[in-house]
Amino acid sequence: MKKAVVASLLAVASVASGARVAVAQTQVNLGSNAQQTGGGVTLPPAEYNAYTAAIGQSTPQTQAPALEQFLTTYPQSQVKQDVLQRLMLAYSAFDPTKTLDAADRLLQVDPNNLRALTFEAYFRLQAADAITDPAAKQAALDKASDFAQKGLSATKPADMTDADFNNVKSAASPVFHRAIAAAALGKKDGATAVTNLKDSLSSVPVDQTKTPGPLLQDTYTLGAAYYQSTPPDFLNCAWYASRAASFAPEPYKSQMMPLAKFCYKRYHGADDGFDTLVTQSQASLNPPANLSDTIKPAPKPADIVKQVIASTPDLSTLAISDKEFILQNGTPEDAAKVWDTVKGKSVQFPDATVIGVTDTALQVALSDDAVQSKVADFTFQLAAPLKTPPVAGSKVTVTGTYASFTPQPIMITMSDGAVVEPKKTPAKPTPAHHPAPRKK
């Protein structure tokens, strides 16, 4: 599925329902005496008054600058850690960038601060979602994952009760596991993503996994992670993707369900029984242990290749996905039968999804499988550099001539490649103006 689906669902849930709950502010009791606090902290009267004035602001927008001013005036205050934590929480209501800055400063004085680690993982993951450059995006995801791993291994501070620590860590766990899973998926590490997404979902009451928001996103992403595992686990992919689609509102339901059906058909070979699977997934977060015993798997790839070739009079009429399947899984003789139907032929493909582009080549995804997994299955060697290179993820019409292929992973190389520019609508001619004849 397109990343936009996941990002949109994430936006359904506000920060307050996710990370901000996990970092609920710890109150520091400074008592009613400006000299000796109830918590054993002694502050001079002026500092005490500045502190109480800052924390007494009624809105995050007014409290944040007041707290910043307190830290500027009293940089070594005994309540510096508490002020930084309050500052971080205030910024989280309206400014993610300043939230991270406050979290960074808090971690400098308290490297084990669970609340700060939660904000670091949450907002860095959120920011990474908006990055388009693949290398920069992965670096941002890895940074979020680093903070998440520190958060999962954080130990209870001495001045925090077991109950408070467990409450914060319980609320933060889905954030941490989600960040680690996202970084793993970026590196095609399906196994690590699966483990962390299952941990995320199991850390909350099951009813929470039915509500549109990050946890429903995790359910869908878990299905995608099973699909990206090596080898792909199509049945678990179908289960979790269909469950997420079942509880998602439109238009996300319609955008999620194709992955579920795609994985089901890859496992079973057809879509009969799919509706039953959808109904079962609605009743349970996880599939029953005997699910694979109740759904017959599709024939083996080599058997499918033999059957398709035997039952198709004209192999050139096969869909791109079917041709690629045979090129990947057939014997050399069977692959040659399909390749001979296209070799040397010039063709035009509309709606090719751009994966990457250089001065000399354009890589696109054309088959359903390639589009679904966002990997290139065609490389067009360009006849000439593109005047306006298309961006990754966009749709283009391409032309080229079948030149060669490699089966594992499948990559079909086209020569004389070019992008067909959309035809411009001709401008309507301006009506000629004929002056009226002069009267004699």
At 36-72, the pLDDT tens digits run: 344 568 899 999 999 999 999 999 999 999 999 999 9
Handedness of CA 300, 302, 307, 312 (dihedral sign): positive
Given a cut of 90, is residue 33 above it in pLDDT?
Answer: no
Q: What angle do CA 385, 389, 391 make, to 5 degrees?
A: 155
Mean pLDDT confidence for 96-114: 96
Cα–Cα distance measured from residue 219 to residue 1, given in angstroms and rounded to the nearest whole number = 13
What would the two tokens of residue 49 be? 């008054």
Report the pLDDT value the prediction gives residue 274, as an integer from 0 to 100: 97
At 387-397, the pLDDT tens digits run: 889 999 999 99
Specify whether the CB–CB gap between 268 and 296 falls below 8 A. yes
Query: Cα dist. 38→28, 29, 30, 42 in Å?
Result: 9, 6, 6, 9
Cα–Cα distance measured from residue 373 to residue 389, given in angstroms and rounded to the nearest whole number = 22
Which residue ranges make up each domain of the chain?
3-28+79-283, 299-342, 343-421
Report the pLDDT value the prediction gives residue 2, as an integer from 0 to 100: 31
- What single-letter DSSP state applies at residue 131? -
Query: Both ends of the chain: CA-CA distance in Å?
Result: 76
At 326-367, the pLDDT tens digits run: 999 999 999 999 999 999 999 999 999 999 999 999 999 999
Rg for the chain, CA atoms, rounded: 29
Given a cut of 80, is residue 218 above it in pLDDT?
Answer: yes
List of E strands, 257-387: 346-357, 361-365, 378-382
The hierarchical CATH code for the domain 343-421 is 2.40.50.110
At 137-181, the pLDDT tens digits run: 999 999 999 999 999 999 998 888 999 999 999 999 999 999 999
Report the pLDDT value the prediction gives residue 157, as an integer from 0 to 100: 87
Cα–Cα distance measured from residue 220 to residue 245, given in angstroms and rounded to the nearest whole number = 7
Mean pLDDT confidence for 257-285: 95
Report the pLDDT value the prediction gives residue 435, as an integer from 0 to 100: 55
Mean pLDDT confidence for 276-292: 96
Q: What angle do CA 37, 38, 41 make, to 5 degrees?
A: 40
Cα–Cα distance measured from residue 48 to residue 32, given in angstroms and rounded to the nearest whole number = 10
How many other CB atoms are found less than 10 A from the CB of residue 163? 8
Query: Cα dist. 197→200, 222, 317 in Å?
Result: 5, 6, 41
Best CATH choice for the domain 3-28+79-283 from the list 2.60.40.420, 3.30.540.10, 2.60.40.10, 1.25.40.10: 1.25.40.10
pTM, two decimals, is 0.65
Percentage of the chain lying above the pLDDT 90 cut: 80
